[in-house]
Amino acid sequence: MEAENGEGQVQVHLKTKQEHYAVPDVPYAIEGSVATTELNIFLNALLQKQGSDGVDFDFLVFDEYLRGRLCDHLREKAISFEDAIEIEYVERFPAPEPQDCLLHDDWVSAVKARDKWILTGCYDNTLNIWTNKGKHKLTIPGHTAPIKAVDWISLNENYGRFVSSSQDQTAMLWQWNIDSNAVECISVCKGHERGVDSVSVSPDGQRFATGSWDTMLKVWSAQLEDSVEGTSKRPRESGVRTPKLTLQGHRESISAVQWMDGQTLLTGSWDHTLKVWDLNLEGIKTEISTNKSIFDASYSSLNKLIVTASADKNLRLYDARTNQGSVVRNTYLGHNAWVQAVMWSTTEEFLFVSGAYDNQNKLWDCRSPKAPLYDLLGHGEKVLDIDWSNPKYIVSGGSDNTVRVFKTKKANIEHMETK
C-alpha cells in the first residue's frame, strides 16, 4: 500500500467540535503526501456542498497540529498507514493585525493593557499611560532607576490604580484621576535589597506580590489605607509601605511572579526552578526543576498549564499538578535568541504569545510545538515584555523604544456558541 516515499493512500475520518463545520462521518481516502494546504482544499470542497464559504482550518493528528506532510507526521508518531486515522479540524485563529507604534524616549521594559488603556514602564525611569488607539495621556516620573514591571490594581471610569516595580529596589503604588488626568504616588513599597524584577496583583485586587534580584518573594497590601476609593478624597499615607509577608526559597533572581488563585503564587527564577507557593502555609507547595534559567513564566487558569521562557531560545510547557511536574510536556521551537517574555491568552485555552531578543513576537498554539501560528513583526530591536491581558490586543515593548500593538480577532466561534 505504501510507496517508497510514503505517498500511498491513507483512510481518514474528519472530526470537529465546531458542529456548524461538520462533514459526514465516513472514511475518506487521501494521499499520504498531503499537508495542511491540500487538506484545506479537500475539506472546503466538502463544506461547499453544504453551502459554506471558504474557511482556513488547522488539523490535529494525534493531539498535535499537522505542520508538514501527513505521512511524515504519522511516521514520527509511529502510526501504521493501515489504520484509519482520525483528523480533528479547528478553524484557524485569525492573524493579529498590526495597529499603532507608541514611541517612547527609552527602552520599554514593561507593558500591561486593561480596558482601553495601556500602561508602560521605561528605562528612563518613567511610566506612561496611552489609549489603545495610540494616544499618549501621561508621563509619570518618580522612580530613580529603570522600571521592570507594571500591573493594574483596579480601573473604573473615574480612577485607575496600578503598581510599578523598578531597579531602584522599590515598588510604587499609584492612583490616577482619569477626569483630571492627574496621578499621585500613594506609597513607596520598601523592603527589597536589590532591583524588583516582577510584580503581580492578586485576583481580588487586595494584594500584590514582587520578585527581586535579592531572591525574595514579598507580598504587600494593595489597599488604600486612609481614603475611600472612588471619592475625591485624597489618599493619605505616611508614604512608605512594608511587606506583609516575605518568602525565601529561590537561590537567584526571581524573574517572574503570578497569582494562580487567591492563595497561590507561581514564581520563576534564574536558579532554574519554578515554585508554587501556598500563602496559607507560607511555604512552597510544589517545585519544578528545569535545566535552564527562567526569564519568564505564565500560568493559564483555563488549562492549568505553565509555559516558560529561557535563554536557550525555547519555550517549555509544564504541568504542576502531576508528580512528574518537572517533565517537560512540550518544547516550542521558533525563536533564535533569548526568549524574554511569555503570556497565555486569558480567553483562548490553547494560545500564548512570546517575545524575544530576536526582535520578534510569536503567537503559539500549545498543540503546535514545531512552529508558531504567526510571527508578529515590527520591533527593530529586542522585545523586553509582552502582554495579552486584554483579549483584543497583544501589546509588546522593546529596546527600539516602541510599544507595538496587534489587534486580535476571534475565529468564527460564535456560531458554535449559539448552537
pLDDT in tens, 173-212: 999 999 999 999 999 999 999 999 999 999 999 999 999 9
164 and 16, same structural domain? Answer: no
**Three cell numbers at 255?**
524573574
The pLDDT of residue 225 is: 73
Tally of domains within the chain? 2
The pLDDT of residue 79 is: 87
Find the domain containing 221 and state its range: 97-416
| 153 Rama sector, left if φ>0, alpha if ψ -120 to 50, beta otherwise | alpha
Of 161, 130, 164, the C-alpha closest to 147 is 164
The pLDDT of residue 416 is: 39
Distance, in Å, from the CA atom of 258 to the CA atom of 260, rounded to the nearest integer, reads 6
Q: Looking at 91, 123, 157, which one is the last position of a domain?
A: 91
Proportion of the chain above pLDDT 70, given as a percent: 92
Which runs of consecutive H residues, i.e. helices, occur in 234-308?
none
The values of phi and psi at residue 70, to 5°, are: -60, -40
Predicted confidence (pLDDT) per residue in 300-334, tens digit: 999 999 999 998 999 999 998 888 878 899 999 99
Predicted confidence (pLDDT) per residue in 351-383, tens digit: 999 999 999 999 999 999 999 999 999 999 999
CATH number of domain containing 268: 2.130.10.10
Identify the DSSP state of 235: P
The pLDDT of residue 139 is: 98
The H or E element that residue 94 is part of is none
Of 278, 276, 274, the C-alpha closest to 263 is 278
Question: Is residue 2 situated within a structural domain?
Answer: no
261 and 400, same structural domain? Answer: yes
For 38, the 3-state DSSP assignment is helix
251 and 148, same structural domain? Answer: yes
Q: What is the mean pLDDT of residues 276-297?
A: 95
Q: Looking at 91, 108, 141, which one is the last position of a domain?
A: 91
Q: What is the mean pLDDT of the chain?
A: 92
Specify the higher pLDDT residue, 171 or 2.
Answer: 171
Predicted confidence (pLDDT) per residue in 126-173, tens digit: 999 999 999 999 999 999 999 999 999 999 999 999 999 999 999 999
Q: Looking at 91, 112, 143, which one is the last position of a domain?
A: 91
129 and 78, same structural domain? Answer: no
Question: Is residue 4 situated within a structural domain?
Answer: no
Residue 94: how many CA atoms within 13 Å on its side-chain side? Answer: 14
For 42, the 3-state DSSP assignment is helix
